[in-house]
Structure 1
Amino acid sequence: MAALSAVALLVTGCAGRPADPQPTPEPTSTVRLGTVARAEVGARLTVTATVDRVITGTAFVVRDVDFTDGTLLVLSTGKATAEPPQLVTVVGTVIDFSYRDLSDRYQLGPSGAYRDFEGGPALAAEDVTVWD
């Protein structure tokens, strides 16, 4: 009986001791920043992605999970022959998109197609490779 009392005392004594305080984890972002979100305006960038839609012969949208909103506007001074859902590799420079400032240079056509991109990043293409 004395042994049983000693065991009971040991078990309750151990169970009553509070656990050491644990440090709180550092807060981490749950949003994954995409390639373009990390790139500064003026940075050279190479992107391989799927053509989502063609707006004009010099402007098209690519889609990839690494982009902040899933899509990226690509502008080219030469005609791009890419069509959805082709894969393209684009080498260019990250710019801030402004329809008013860029419409003449890139022959953008009507402004309505560009509303979602206004003020955001775009890629001014220097080279576009279309993969079959």
Structure 2
Amino acid sequence: MDRWLGPMHPALAALSAVILLTAGCTNPPAVPQPSPEPAPATRLGTIARAEVGDRLTVTATVDRVIADRAFVVRDVDLTNGILLVLSAGPSAPAPPQLVTVQGTVIRFSHRDLADHYALGPPGPYRAFEGRPALVAQALRTWE
């Protein structure tokens, strides 16, 4: 048996090498293909993707102040361009200040929140009723 493998051994080694080289050369590396689904225009972490109870950080311009503890911010990345922010702070920042708000997403209900945040009459809040709002835990104004 040794006599048969002896002369064949170099031939088997060469054949194995040829097979490995041929297999490696004939299969080109896989090229990543683009996803068939379009990428969403909204980035993760924005109010459009946020659910009630999610923590969120938003940097936007103060559009208007509704009450001492309620103001509206405006930014193109926000749903409908605006977002109601409720703050535990003593007073809201003035327009057109740039602010960064860290907070928790809620579903706004004037009836449920009016007393706690001293919101005043419901009229200015009608556009936000039932929509996501942000309860600020931290608020930073930019000069």
TM-score (norm 1): 0.74
Identity across the alignment (%): 63
1:102 and 2:120 are equivalent in the alignment: no
1:42 Cα offset (Å) = 0.3
Which ranges in structure 1 are unaligned for 5 or more consecutive residues? Answer: 1-25
Q: Which has the higher helix share?
A: 2
Deviations 1:54-107 (A, max 9, x none): 001100000011111000000012223411100001010000000000111111
Count residues in correspondence: 107
**Which entry has the higher C-alpha Rg, 1 or 2?**
2
* Structure 2 match to 1:41: 52
Aligned partner of 1:74 among 85, 99, 104:
85
1:80·1:128 contact (CA, 8 Å) conserved in 2?
Answer: no
Moved over 3 A (4+): 26-29, 31-34
- Distance (Å, rounded) in 2 between the aligned partners of 1:76 and 1:45: 14
Letter of the 2:99 partner, please give it: V
Call closer, same or farther: CA 1:74–1:81 in 2, change over 3 Å.
Answer: closer
Give the drift of 1:27. 6.9
The one-letter code of the counterpart of 1:116 is A
Name stretches of at least 5 consecutive residues in structure 2 with no aligned partner: 1-35
The residue that corresponds to 2:65 in the other structure is 54
Q: Equivalents in 1 of 2:42, 2:50: separation in Å?
A: 10
* Contact 1:97/1:120 (<8 A) preserved: yes
Q: 3-state SS of the aligned residue for 2:48?
A: helix
Instruction: State how 1:1-132 maps to structure 2 within 5 Å.
Output: 28=38, 32-33=41-42, 35-132=46-143
